[in-house]
A and B are shown apart, each in its own frame.
Chain A
Amino acid sequence: MARIVVDPVTRIEGHLRIEAQVDGGMVTDAWSSGTMFRGIELILRGRDPREAWIWAQRICGVCTMVHALASVNAVEDALGIEVPDNARLVRNIIAATQTIQDHVIHFYHLHALDWVDVVSALKADPAKTSQLAESISDWPLSSAKYFKGIQDRVNALVASKQLSLFGAGYWGHPAYHLPPEANLMAVAHYLEALQFQKQFIRIHAVLGGKNPHLQTFLVGGMSTALDPNEPNATINPERIDFLLQVAKTAQTFVSQVYIPDVLAVAGFYRDWFERGEGLGNFMSYGAYPQGSIKEPANFFLPRGIILNRDLSKVYPVDPANITEYVAHSWYEYEEGNEVAKHPYEGETNPKYTGPKPPFEHLEVEQKYSWLKAPRYQDKAMEVGPLARLLVAYASGQPEVKALVEGTLAKLKAPATALFSTLGRIAARALETQLLANHIVGWIQDLGNNMARGDLRIHNGEKWDPNTWPETARGFGFFEAPRGSLGHWVEIERQAIKNYQAVVPSTWNAGPRDAHGQRGAYEAALAKTPVADPERPLEMLRTIHSFDPCLACAVHVVDARGRTCVRAEA
């Protein structure tokens, strides 16, 4: 019996701690703890709802913009605002760009080092690496000379005895199975992906002013004025061309580098199609409206729930069924620990009852996390790319169905293999490909609208707070790269009265609820093999397959008497 603690869990966003019980070389139980708290919802109270998105966006700087979008969706829902079609398109383009870029960074920079042994790349034969690369892809950076150059760079790093970011890795761990040539190819692509992501994100710079933390959202639309005849309009024909050019680089990179790499890695780690299974309940709010946001049935990625790994049925999502527990979270409910509360009633007080720092272990039988435990109809749910893909697949979305079936055939794996650590990785890659294809269409639609003379980008009917009702409330849903995101806002006398966000990593990384049901990480870690308790590489594989984002997950707090500030035009 050994208690393993991984804190900090690195190569994630935010502060995550995992404690696990390991018996006989296998995880028997696990506890997931978020160890940082800011209180952003409290800070939002009393402020102008039109600028809530600027604040809420700072919940996260990795999936930057997803909270901005959920926030404007919520305020628009509360005030009954429909945005113009061009704003819908710009939002879809921005959101798809975010997800594509985020998934690429996740695979190469946050997750790959769990599968790729950087030091082993030194033993690779560059000529054989070139053969390997050319056998799986047409990507042009594949010559022996090129790989030799990468290898020299790694060699120089190792010889300098200053391994920099690679210094404390688990190199030589028995769970690494890639041959040296595959490792060298992956190191090359790690560096190429760094280049790709910063070039690709220029779409956000054009449409958002900058990345991270875009600055062009508006309640009612976007500030990206468009005009086919104005050189200084944010969007004009020249910018549309630029966006198309950049978007096409994603199609190429994803189809020639990312997808082949995922398939190659999966081929060497097939046993991970049977590990990290988790809850078996999946939820997606749906994303990328094709028309009105009020019609989720027409979203590009559909809304729905899958229960108990049953892909034959997709259940609808009713926002009224979402609640949060604090039985094992460092908060207090007035009615006690046993109740669950809907976000509109999101009354919460932070109250730390854990061990006094510095500490060795958390009191996992009591409260042990700054994350709450969200539940849907009292069930724990996994959210994220796998959930989205499964809901789309089970709903019969033709494009997704074809892509998933084609990939499973290539991998010679059944659909049930998707319920796994590798399934999450594959789903993320496939979603990236779907979006890289669709973003081009949305940019073209935007250009076509502009050419037709449809220049509407903002619905200003409700911009003046004097047009608002005395009170209003609404919610905004979105599928962030890491899963289902919801913001709930209550407006009173032109100011925010209450603000709540229930975010992807709270669903996935949350602790047990009042009934002792585990969160998704906790469930997925069960039966994970641990060859060396001092170097729990295998645990990181499953945790990283969820792409944790902890800053998002911890931010909830109740109001304690903040004077309301009126919004002024």
Chain B
Amino acid sequence: MRPLRGSLPEALRYRGVSRRDFVKFCSSMVAALALPPRYLSVVEKALSQATRPVLVWLEFQDCAGNTESMLRSSNPTVADIVLELLSWEYHETIMAGAGKQAEAALDRVVEEHPGEYIAVVEGAIPTADGGVYCTIGGKTALEIATRVCRRAAACIAVGACAWDGGLVRSNPNPTGALGLQEAVPGLKTLVNLGGCPQNPANTAAVLVHYLTFHEMPALDQYNRPLFAYGNIIHDQCERRAHYDAGRFVEEWGDESHRKGYCLYKMGCKGPEATFNCPTVRWNDGTSWPVKSGHGCIACASHRFWDTKSPFYKRLPSVPGFGVDVTADEIGWVATGVVAGAMLAQVAGNAVRDKIRPKNTQDKASKPPDSHEA
């Protein structure tokens, strides 16, 4: 990353941002990252560099849902992120340039800023048949991802498809699709932001963390940031009290459904999914699926399309569920039990082979002082 230049007030004036708005933005980021308030000044300083760090956003086998989700970012707004916080130099869905000029913009970043830029990847990467299932400018997605991501300072895989191949990779995976970390192995600084789509609040927080501390927030065994993926949905759910009291929706639209009872019997996967969806919510914190009356489909879980479907099938009752159990414990209990159940349903699924907890300690990077994520 480039060194800090100029004083904070100068930098702000330069960018046409009021001091008040800027502090508000920094405060919200400190809160999102669960940092102690004393970090406010650190974040402020880091985000007011005169030269903005460069970001490129690549789209492969995608639906652009993660791009659209980013457009819904509210605090900071997408205009602040792409125009003030970073220099957002390549993003096919929204960039001004096209064709040759677009390709040149990407080439310039890769050639002129090796080791300095952030690469965001959206969508899966097809590897079957020489990669012909996705080409851009006549080049395969695999070739582009390899070239751009290998030279990036940091990579962020947004959404289920970029993380683990997502829907595109689900059985029978017609195009040999993979997520970024498998298609381009060995990337040193990589964060996976699962979810279908990613929640822009988390993506913004990861970007801010990286710009502030020059490293990624503490990550779990899937390289997902703990601040967003460390807690079980069921434990954060506003309908949890109904579960504990045995009050369940039995039929869609029945009295229990109208009263907002628990959706467990309708197939909700909240008890075996981790994500901060219930607390961060979506679209300015307006709602999330369970609040709107439908069960969770565990869209932030590994290979969820195959491992968590059928989505309307009630989970097996898992002993040991309770408010005092930690995410890690219950995560592995649930994964084991449910994996067993799923094995019978989804024949030939090779997902479990991929589930290997690794030592999170060496991967988890910590900001200065004693921040515990």
Q: Chain A residues in contact with chain B, CB under 8 A?
A: 5-15, 35-40, 42-43, 47-48, 50-51, 54-55, 58-62, 64, 105, 109-110, 113, 118, 149, 152-153, 156-157, 159-160, 162-170, 191, 194-195, 197-199, 201-202, 204-213, 215-216, 218, 220-227, 230, 232-234, 350, 352, 354-360, 370, 455-458, 460, 463, 534-536, 540, 551, 557, 560, 562-563, 565, 567-569
Contact = CB atoms under 8 A, between A and B. Distances in A.
Which residue, of B78, B175, B292, has the highest number of chain A Cβ atoms within 10 A? Answer: B292
A42 B310 contact: no
Contacts of B98: 6, 8-11, 168, 540
A567 B310 contact: yes
B288 interface: yes
Contacts of B196: 58, 213
B260 A232 contact: yes
Contacts of A205: 281-284, 286-287, 292
Given A162-B52, A164-B82, A357 B64 contact: no
B37 interface: no
B363 interface: no
Contacts of A160: 14, 50-52, 87
B20 interface: no
A37 B294 contact: no
Contact of B253 (A166, A225, A360, A551): A225
A168 B63 contact: no
Nearest to B57: A165
A405 to B, nearest CB: 35
B89 A39 contact: no
B102 A168 contact: yes
B355 interface: no
A220 B312 CA distance: 14
Contacts of B309: 47-48, 51
16 contacts: A10-B94, A37-B133, A38-B175, A39-B174, A42-B174, A43-B174, A47-B309, A61-B67, A168-B95, A169-B96, A206-B292, A210-B287, A216-B292, A218-B294, A567-B310, A568-B313
Given A8-B92, A39-B175, 19 more contacts: A8-B98, A8-B137, A10-B94, A10-B96, A13-B93, A15-B136, A38-B167, A61-B63, A61-B197, A160-B87, A162-B51, A167-B89, A167-B96, A169-B97, A197-B72, A199-B284, A227-B258, A360-B138, A567-B310
Interface stretch (B124-132, B186-194, B216-224): B124-132
A33 to B, nearest CB: 9
A569 B266 CA distance: 9
Contacts of B67: 61-62
Given A7-B136, A10-B97, A64-B68, A165 B292 contact: no
B132 A352 contact: yes
A297 to B, nearest CB: 29
B88 interface: yes
Given A350-B174, A357-B138, A455 B258 contact: yes
Interface string B200-232: 000000000000000000000000000000000
Interface in B254-305: 257-260, 281-284, 286-294, 297, 299, 305
B345 interface: yes
A357 B74 CA distance: 40
B252 A223 contact: yes
Contacts of B345: 565
B307 interface: no
B62 A551 contact: yes
Contacts of B77: 194-195, 198
A7 B138 CA distance: 8
B99 to A, nearest CB: 4
B352 to A, nearest CB: 18
Contacts of A354: 132
A38 to B, nearest CB: 5
A500 to B, nearest CB: 15
Contacts of A42: 172, 174
Contacts, number: 341
Contacts of B71: 105, 109, 194, 197-198
Nearest to A4: B99
Contacts of B82: 164-165
Given A51-B311, A463-B252, A224 B293 contact: yes
A569 B313 CA distance: 6
In the A-B complex, the 9 residue pairs with the smallest Cβ-Cβ separation, listed nearest first, are: A61-B65, A168-B97, A232-B260, A169-B96, A39-B174, A209-B289, A210-B282, A209-B292, A205-B286
B197 A212 contact: yes
A51 B137 contact: no
Contacts of B136: 7-8, 15, 35
Among the interface residues A37, A152, A562, which one has the most CB atoms of the partner chain B within 10 A?
A37
Contacts of B140: 357-358
B69 interface: yes
A192 B70 CA distance: 16
A109 B63 contact: no
A221 B292 contact: no
Contacts of B347: 563
Contact of B287 (A105, A149, A159, A206): A206
A209 B86 CA distance: 30
A235 to B, nearest CB: 9
A130 B2 CA distance: 39
B135 interface: yes
Given A6-B98, A64-B68, A54 B297 contact: yes
Given A6-B99, A61-B66, A457-B253, A54 B311 contact: yes
Contacts of A197: 71-72
Contact of A10 (B62, B74, B95, B170): B95
Nearest to A549: B64
Contacts of A208: 292
A209 B355 CA distance: 29
Contacts of A457: 252-253
B19 interface: no
Nearest to A166: B96
A226 B258 contact: yes
A198 B136 CA distance: 29
B294 A38 contact: no
A211 B283 contact: yes
Contacts of A562: 171-172
A352 B134 CA distance: 11
Contact of B174 (A38, A62, A156, A456): A38
A40 B170 CA distance: 9
